[in-house]
Amino acid sequence: MFVLLGLSDEKELQLILFPVFLVIYHVTLIWNMGLIILIRIDSHLHTLMYFFLSFLSFIDICYSSTISPRMLSDFLKDKKTISFLACATLYFLGAWMSLAECCLLVFMACDRRVPIGSPLQYSAIIVPGICWKMVAGIYRSGFLSSLVHTVPCFNLYYCGPNVIQDFFCNIFQIISLSRSNPFISQMILFLIATFVGLGSLFVILLSYGFIVASMLKIPSTKGRAKAFNTCASHLAAVALFYGTTISVYMHPSSSHPMKQDKVLSVFSVVLIPMLNPLIYSLRNKEIKEALKRVINEATHLH
């Protein structure tokens, strides 16, 4: 049994935070589900880019749903306990979605690179028929990566201190509570973070290096601006995702005060799933036009 301290131990503040995070969670569900439905029902959005975007929204829904409901219920509790099995399950699901998002962002970066670098070969290189195999591979990679490091971490001996100074099952704090030697678990966690997390970031940056090189070859300013707009939303999402993840998980434990850690965690696990659909649709003319078409069709039906 673990005890989650939550965002704050002040009851008055918890009662204020509850409606705020309840609204954020519902907005996350509505925006992401709305984007998925829009992509599914509008034939103009049946391209590989939006196919991947719909699965990014699905991942954000799943990721947010592994953390937010538990956090919301804890706001209303005096004793914020969580069983060992529940903590392991929630962490595994959250890690699965997070690692799958790393892989998905790589595919999305490659999808943007090909039409800019080799527009005439786009349909031959990115074949729509293999889309589902790509997505299956993404989820399989996330599942296996999560399983490989979750099992040894939760197989350590836990008997003694059980307080997690966070609002979710933070794996680094959980390992620190172990009474057995965590070296192997820490090494596995480090390898997963390096190969999947930093490895995917390296591939994304490499893809954008090729994109920039291809953009510089475009003779017209208008063409370069159009190419940049194609990548801007994905680049912003990558910066948010990796920036906050690295800030939360890849710094020495003494370098950030606990309150600052919690603020970064909130941004990483609660706000980013809400912001992603906004980032991808705010300046996207195709999504705006698709939304107008759907609204017009719905209006004409009545």
Going by pLDDT thresholds of 50, 70 and 90, the confidence category of residue 22 is very high
- Read off the pLDDT of residues 202-250 as tens digits, 9 standing for 90 and up: 999 998 888 888 888 878 787 778 778 778 888 999 999 998 888 777 6
pLDDT at 20 over 90: yes
pLDDT of residue 92: 96
Q: How many CA atoms lie within 13 A of 221 on its CB side?
A: 0
- Read off the pLDDT of residues 141-162 as tens digits, 9 standing for 90 and up: 999 999 999 999 999 998 888 8
Give how many domains the chain has, as a whole number. 1
User: How confident is the prediction for the chain on average, in pLDDT?
Assistant: 86
pLDDT of residue 246: 83
Going by pLDDT thresholds of 50, 70 and 90, the confidence category of residue 255 is very low
Range of the domain at 179: 2-301
pLDDT of residue 239: 92
pLDDT, mean of residues 116-135: 65
The runs of H, that is alpha helices, within 76-125 are 84-117, 122-125
What CATH number did the domain enclosing 193 receive?
A: 1.20.1070.10
- Read off the pLDDT of residues 162-186 as tens digits, 9 standing for 90 and up: 899 888 998 988 998 998 888 999 9
Q: Report the helix count and the strand count for the chain, using DSSP H and E.
A: 12, 3
- Read off the pLDDT of residues 55-83 as tens digits, 9 standing for 90 and up: 999 999 999 999 999 999 999 888 889 99
- Contact in structure between 95 and 146 (CB atoms under 8 Å): yes
pLDDT of residue 114: 66
| Torsion, Cα of 279, 101, 166, 24 (10° steps) | 30
Q: What order do you get walking across the sheet with 163-164 strand by strand?
A: 81-82, 2-4, 163-164
Going by pLDDT thresholds of 50, 70 and 90, the confidence category of residue 270 is very high
| Torsion, Cα of 44, 48, 52, 55 (10° steps) | 60
pLDDT at 253 over 70: no
